[in-house]
Structure 1
Amino acid sequence: MLDYFAIVALRDSMKLAECYRLLGLQSGASFDDIKASYRRLARQYHPDVNPGDERARDKFMAVTEAYKLLLSTSIRSEINGKAESVTIARTPATSVTVSQSGTSEPSSRVREPRKPASICFNPNLSPLEQELKVSSYQQLQQLLREQRFPRAIALVEGLARRIPHDPEVSQWQAIIYQRWGRHLIQERQLDKARNYLKKALRTDPHNRSLWAEVEKDFRYLEQLF
């Protein structure tokens, strides 16, 4: 039977092969398989289901630690493998064109998308919170591809309320505000665009690349007024 210190040692030294073995999986199992196996074992060994059973408690702790480690590995491999995705982990590169009126404006044409940066594993998040973060990231990328900015804002603001101290979530939120502000400029909703660009800077004030993009947007706004 594993005591608390054995669990800590297991967490610190556990190899991926042992993690897969604990979850009853083969090496390289998919994210969905890892999630399904963990949920099944968690229900089976949860202390609430096995009151007073120390072996079940230890098993529950071990599979939870294995799940956390495999989750971080699976996140990186699955998301980095989607080369066609549009990254929201950094502000997209844009070019500037000159309109017929002679004013320069951010172009809607973007360069070839880079591979998305992997999502950082935040050890302060629970497995369910980390899973929520991953699924939200994937939904946000789809919404940005479809230019459904209000829906993306609602999703990322809800995620920020659920996971309030995750720096990546704040970065995503700021970038989506900036993308929506730029879109509003193209729609000539200038006051609303200004408000969202300011919200972007307040949300992630130390992001230099974000500041550079917002400065482009404000320069164009000044030309329109």
Structure 2
Amino acid sequence: MDLGDCYRLLGLRSGACFADIKASYRRLAQQYHPDINPGDSKAKEKFIAVTEAYKLLLHVIPQQETAPPSSHSPFVGYQPTKVTHPETPTKEKPKEKPKPKPPSFSEIEQRLKWKTYEHLQQFLKERRFPQAISLAEALAQRLPADAEVRQWQAISYQIWGRALIAEKQPFKAKIYLKKALKTDPHNKSLCNEVQRDFQMLEQMF
């Protein structure tokens, strides 16, 4: 089950927030729960599938989508008022446009990124490659401009490709090795590893 399947099972669009995912799961779980549908095997299968999709999304979607403003900021709730001298008229100075702040990760995105990285490492260590790939792809979809996330995704593809070579699945291995190169084409060390893997594939034929 990939990430897109999870969203579809819950009746949601890709990238839905945690609140929507939770609400949809509760509604479907109540609808298909075995206690409500005794003896209905289709309802039971649907309940299991919805629950598995919800669990997988919990590893990817942050459970807090908005961060409250810092109570320590002296400007929270502050609205300045214009003060002029009652006897002397003053000319209003042209308002300066505020300079745009450079884009930066929010705290939520940072927590999501490194929490997902920990899960990704654990999945790769346990050789749970489909789950690792789903996590990496979901994170790359949420943070498409992050070069570090793109590198993790490419390495996950390459590791799975090498594992597939060991399992004597050369055609599937070739697909994921090509994905690794396409995802992070400027990573020289990764390219070298993939070239070694392709040499191993050639020896199998």
Q: What TM-score comes out, normalization by structure 1 length?
A: 0.48
Does the C-alpha gap of structure 1 residues 203 and 44 become closer, same or farther in structure 2, counting only changes over 3 Å? closer
* Aligned residues: CA RMSD: 2.5
Within-5 A mapping of 1:159-174: 159-174=139-154
Q: Is the 8 A contact 2:161 2:176 kept in 1?
A: yes
Which structure's CA Rg is the greater one?
2
- Taking the aligned partners of 1:141 and 1:168, their CA distance within structure 2 comes to 14
- Taking the aligned partners of 1:55 and 1:137, their CA distance within structure 2 comes to 35
Aligned to 1:112: none
Residue 181 (str. 1) matches residue 161 (str. 2)? yes
- Runs in 1 of length 4+ with deviation above 2 angstroms? 41-46, 54-58
Indicate the structure with greater strand content: 1
SS for the counterpart of 1:155 is helix
Q: Is the 8 A contact 1:45 1:57 kept in 2?
A: no
Aligned to 1:150: 130
Q: Is the 8 A contact 1:181 1:196 kept in 2?
A: yes
Aligned equivalent of 2:171, options 191, 194, 197: 191
Give the superposition deviation at 1:45.
4.1
Does the C-alpha gap of structure 1 residues 201 and 57 become closer, same or farther in structure 2, counting only changes over 3 Å? farther
Q: Is the 8 A contact 2:158 2:177 kept in 1?
A: yes
Deviations 1:133-184 (A, max 9, x none): 0101111111111011110000010001111110000000000000000000
Give the superposition deviation at 1:43.
6.2
Does the C-alpha gap of structure 1 residues 44 and 167 become closer, same or farther in structure 2, counting only changes over 3 Å? closer
Gaps of at least 5 residues in structure 1 are: 1-38, 47-53, 59-122
Q: Is the 8 A contact 1:177 1:197 kept in 2?
A: yes
Aligned equivalent of 1:218, options 174, 188, 198: 198
Q: Is the 8 A contact 2:129 2:160 kept in 1?
A: yes
Give the superposition deviation at 1:124.
2.3
Q: Is the 8 A contact 2:69 2:76 kept in 1?
A: no
Aligned to 1:137: 117
SS for the counterpart of 1:42 is coil
Aligned to 2:76: 56
- Taking the aligned partners of 1:214 and 1:138, their CA distance within structure 2 comes to 24
- Taking the aligned partners of 1:201 and 1:175, their CA distance within structure 2 comes to 9
Q: Is the 8 A contact 2:158 2:194 kept in 1?
A: yes
Q: Is the 8 A contact 2:154 2:179 kept in 1?
A: yes
Give the superposition deviation at 1:127.
1.2
Count, aligned residues: 116
Deviations 1:14-60 (A, max 9, x none): xxxxxxxxxxxxxxxxxxxxxxxxx9x936749xxxxxxx74347xx
- Taking the aligned partners of 2:120 and 2:77, their CA distance within structure 1 comes to 37
